[in-house]
Structure 1
Amino acid sequence: MVEYCWRGRFTNADVNALHAEGFGHRVLDDDWVAQVERYSLGWVTAVDDGELVGFVNVAWDGGVHAFLLDTLVRADRRRRGIGAALVRAAVDGAQGTGCEWLHVDFDEHLRGFYLERCGFVPTGAGLIALA
């Protein structure tokens, strides 16, 4: 059974592997623990039988806006509701923190997931590529 934990423990190696698989790049050596502890409102881990199978980061602006980033589910565990459960746990964790809004940006192919499965509503937004 998958266990979801707000601000759950994880290793950098596990999140780096999930991120590489999820976003299609080589495995990096990023210090996720330091990053989320310093900059994030929280995060959610999904652990099954001692293995990290999902992760989502809840960044924030230090005020009333929180942002979902890096929603990741291990490829062999996708389409089982883990991603939606991660988002629900992130919403639950962010509630009561003083934040009033939870934002998410996504590629068009994820529209149904975030709007229909997770309950986000569409908004107008803009984006400038900096690199």
Structure 2
Amino acid sequence: MKDLFKLYQKLKSLTKAEADLIEAGDFDILQEKLASKNEVIAEIDKVEQEDYFAQLALSLTKDELQQKKTKLHNLLKEIAELQAQNMQELEEKKKENKERMISLYSREKSIKGYLNSDKYEAKFFDQKS
């Protein structure tokens, strides 16, 4: 049986790497990391938690078992916080890209206006952008 704690640690490291890729804007590698992350999540889903903790209970003392549960709980909290931060950063990147696209689109209008020399729209669009 796979160790849930190790799987969650792997998930945490992938989530941290995800944050760096979001900040760098490297969305191709981010997509690969997300695929790896989904594989780890699928492995976690395969683990029967009742069996896992029953097996731990047989091999650890009561205090050690409680410590393991606490560490696992804290690890899950950290992953959730990292994931929330990543989602927020992605939303910010989305807004930045949207603003850039709007800016480029307005410049495109003014450039197209100058291609038609017999029309006065170029001056209008140029003044607007």
Q: TM-score, normalised by structure 1?
A: 0.27
Larger radius of gyration: 2
Q: TM-score, normalised by structure 2?
A: 0.27
More strand by share: 1
